[in-house]
Amino acid sequence: MKRVCFINGSLRGEAASSIRFLQAVDRLLADREFEKPIITVKAMMPGAYPEEILKIMGSADALVVAFPLFSYSLPGALMRLLED
Amino acid sequence: MTVCCIFDQGSRTALFDDAMSQVSALAAEKGNAFESIALDRNEVAACTGCLRCWTMQTRECVSRDALGDLSRHKKICGMVIYLTPVIFGSMISPVKNAWDKDAHLFANADRMKVVIGYGDTIDDEEESTFLDTITRHRGSADVVHPDKKEDIKVFVTTSGGDIRAICQEIRKVM
């Protein structure tokens, strides 16, 4: 089974448009064929993102990232996750 | 005027030291007060995009973090310099958080912003992405705040020689 990791780069929780995009992609991928963990960024992350989260990203066959454009580029919260 | 320099305290390199030293010397030479503000990545909250600072006209962020005091402080600065390593063609996260909030908190402020991206190994694609995305905020190109008056200058440096040239450009507007 392949792993497709969804990354929600929005801090607006369930109201986020990013979630809607990820859900649309999710529906295209059959549950019996794909493992689909979801990671949501945090506004603050003292220290660093937990190792288990980074391992999920590192072991994924594909990453699907949805995020709001902040200042025409990635929001700071998503930058932090990618840096870690 | 007061020149305020914002940077990530975890990203100090020889190139950073060189840039900070030359920028502060330039501010002093021009008779300006100079203040440097180090951001701790663990104490700066990301912008949630709620826009309350803008729609409620408070010009203050609802997040209670290290940027709260900084926001009040920056209002008196005539020039803000963002000094950041270039990461994936963007700013490093603590500086990006300050930058994201800056766009709304000071939407109508009449002042200059300077962004200096640094790094020893910045490739052409990263450099062009960095310059392009930040330059889009200049003048009327900002669709969220079309009445914005502030000007933005953006530079990328990989050497001390670059920094000298950058300071020559900043000198013209300081």
The pLDDT of residue A74 is 93
Residues 6 or more apart whose Cβ sits within 8 Å of residue B27: B3, B33, B34, B174
b/e sequence A33-46, b meaning 16+ C-beta within 10 Å: eeebeebbbebebe
In contact, B163 and B122? CB cutoff 8 Å: no
Stretch 41-70 of chain A: residues touching chain B, C-beta under 8 Å: 41-47, 68, 70
What number is the ipTM of this complex? 0.91
- Specify the pairing of strand A62-66 against strand B33-39: unpaired
Query: What tens-digit pLDDT sequence spans chain B (174 residues)?
Result: 889 899 999 999 999 999 999 999 999 999 999 999 899 999 999 999 888 877 877 777 888 888 776 666 666 688 889 999 999 999 999 999 998 887 666 555 667 889 999 999 999 999 999 999 888 766 555 555 556 656 789 999 998 889 999 999 999 888
Tell me which chain B residue has its CA closest to the CA of residue A9: B48
Residue of A73, A81, A82, A84 to mutate, interface with B, max B Cβ within 10 Å? A73
Subunit contact A45:B137, Cβ cutoff 8 A: no
Among the partner residues A10, A44, A82, nearest to B45 by beta-carbon distance: A44
Q: Whole-angstrom Cα distance, residue A6 to residue A21? A: 10
Query: pTM, whole model, 2 decimals?
Result: 0.90
Subunit contact A73:B49, Cβ cutoff 8 A: no
Q: Which residue type does B169 have?
A: E
Tokens of B29: 């030479």
The pLDDT of residue B64 is 81
- Specify the pairing of strand A62-66 against strand B151-157: unpaired
Tokens of B28: 């002093």
The pLDDT of residue B156 is 96
Subunit contact A10:B49, Cβ cutoff 8 A: yes
